[in-house]
Structure 1
Amino acid sequence: MFYYVDGTVALLQQGLAVIDCGGVGYACHASQHTIGKLKIGTRARLLTHLNVREDIFELYGFIDDEELSCFQMLISVSGVGPKAALSILSVAPPDRLALSIITEDEKLLTQAPGIGKKIAQRVILELRDKMSREQLETASGASPVAAAMTANGGINHTQEAVAALMVLGYSQAEALRAMGGLDAAHLEADEIIRQCLKKLAAQ
C-alpha cells in the first residue's frame, strides 16, 4: 500500500520518526540506525513496510533497501515480530546483521532489548537456511577473483564479506565488483561490507 514516504522530518523519538508529507504526518516506527541518519527540519525519504493485523495498523520506515530487506527477513523468522526486528536492527544494522548470521555471532543479537539467546539462535539458524547452497559455495572462496584479492591471509574476511553482501541480496559478481580497489587483505569483514555498501549505493 505504501512504498515510501517522502517529506520533512517533523519529529524524532526513540523508535519513531514522523515525516510531514504535504501537511500529513506519517508516524513511522524506525530503528536507531535509521533515526540516527535523520534530522528534524530536513527532507527525508523512508522506504516503508505496513503491518496490518486485526486492529493493528502500523507503518515502519527504513533508510535504505538493505535495512528494509533485513527487516523483512527478520520478521519471516518464527517468533520475531516487527518490534523485535527493529530492536535487532538498532544494535545490528544491515552490514553487521548479515555478518553475524554468516559468523553465527549470537552475542551481537542478544544485545538487542528483548532478544534472548534462543531467539538469536533461531534468527541465525533460519536465515542461514534461507541462503541457497549455491550462495554459500560461491561465497566460500570458489572464485579465483576472490582468492586473488585476499592474498596474505585476508581470504576469510573477504569470504565473510561476500557472503554477507549476498545475504543482503547482492550477487557474488556485484559484491566482487564493489570490492575492486579495496585493500581487502588488510580490512576487517565489517569494514569491507561498509565500504562495499557505500559503493553499491552510489551506483
Structure 2
Amino acid sequence: MFEYIKGELADLTPTSAIIENNGIGYFIHISLNTYSQLSGHKTVQLYLHQVVREDAHMLYGFIDTREREIFRHLISVSGVGVNTARVMLSSLSPSEIQTAILSNNAKTLQGVKGIGAKSAQRIIIELKDKLGKESEILEISLPQDNTNKEEALSALVMLGFAKNAAYKVVDKIYTANPTSSVEDLIKLALKQL
C-alpha cells in the first residue's frame, strides 16, 4: 500500500526509526544495514513494506528498493517471518544474502541467529531460481558501478553466457590486469569461456 516515506528523522535506534511527516510520527522497523546508512541524516527517505496482522499494523523500512526486495523474497519462504528476515538483513548485506543463496552457501545463512540447517536449505531451494533470474536481469540492464569489469560481464551475459561462469572468468582477468579496457576483458573472456 505504501511505497516510501520521506521526512524528518525524529528518533533512530538500531532496530527502529521514527520519521515525522506532516506532523505525524511513523514508527518504522529497520535493519542494522539501514540504521548504519541513516545515522547522521536529518531528512531521510525509506522504502516501506507494510505488514497487517489481526493485532497490529507495522511498517518495515529499507534504505533502498534492493534491500526491500530481498526482505520480500525472504518472507515468502515458509518458516521465515518478518523478524527473522530483518535479523538476516541486520547480519548480512542484501548482496551477501543473494550471493549465499546463489552459491548454495548454507553455512553463511546458518551464521544468522535463528537460522538452522533446514531453514538455510529451504531458503536456498525456494529463492535460488528467483534471485538468479533477477540478478541476470539487473546485470544486463543496470551495470552497478559502470566499471569496465561490470560492463564486460553485462556484455557476456547478453551474449548468452552463464552469469556465474562469466563472472569468474572476468574477475580472474580483471584481477590480473586491472587497467584492461572493456573490449580487452571481453576478448580475453571469450577465449576462456
TM-score for the superposition, normalised by structure 1: 0.68
Instruction: Map 1:79-90 onto structure 2 (within 5 A).
Output: 79-90=79-90
Q: How many residues are matched?
A: 154
Moved more, 112-121 or 84-93: 112-121
Aligned to 2:100: 100
Equivalent residue for 1:4?
4
One-letter identity of the residue aligned with 1:73: H
Q: Which has the larger radius of gyration?
A: 2
Matched-pair contact (CA < 8 Å) for 1:8–1:19: yes
Q: Distance in 1 between matches of 2:113 and 2:12?
A: 20
Shift of 1:51: 0.2
Other-structure match for 1:186 = 175
Q: Which runs of 5+ in 1 are unaligned?
A: 136-162, 188-203
Q: SS of 2:102's equivalent?
A: helix
Tell me how far apart the structure 2 counterparts of residues 60 and 131 of structure 1 sit (CA, whole Å): 21
Deviation at residue 17 of structure 1 after TM alignment:
1.2
Corresponding residue for 2:48?
48
Q: Distance in 1 between matches of 2:50 and 2:44?
A: 18
Task: Compute the RMSD of aligned alpha carbons.
Answer: 2.3
Name the amino acid aligned to 1:58. Answer: M
2: CA distance, partners of 1:52 / 1:63: 21
Q: Is the 8 A contact 2:12 2:35 kept in 1?
A: yes
**How far, CA to CA, are the matches of 2:36 and 2:76 in structure 1?**
25
Map of 1:198 onto structure 2:
none
Give, in whole Å, the separation in 1 of the partners of 2:126 and 2:146. Answer: 28
1:16 corresponds to which residue? 16
Q: How does 1:111-130 map to 2 (within 5 A)?
A: 111-130=111-130
Classify the secondary structure of the residue corresponding to 2:101: helix
Unaligned 5+ residue runs, structure 2? Answer: 150-169, 177-193
**Cα shift at 1:113:** 2.0
Structure 1 distance, partners of 2:131, 2:41, is: 40
Q: Secondary structure at the match of 2:125?
A: helix
The percentage of aligned residue pairs carrying the same residue is: 36
CA distance in 2, matches of 1:18, 1:7: 10
Residue 2 (structure 1) shift:
1.5
**Aligned equivalents of 1:177 and 1:58: distance in 2?**
32
Distance 1:50 1:110 in 2: 27
Match of 1:174 among 138, 141, 158: 141
Tell me, what secondary structure is at the counterpart of 2:38? coil
Letter aligned with residue 130 of structure 2: K
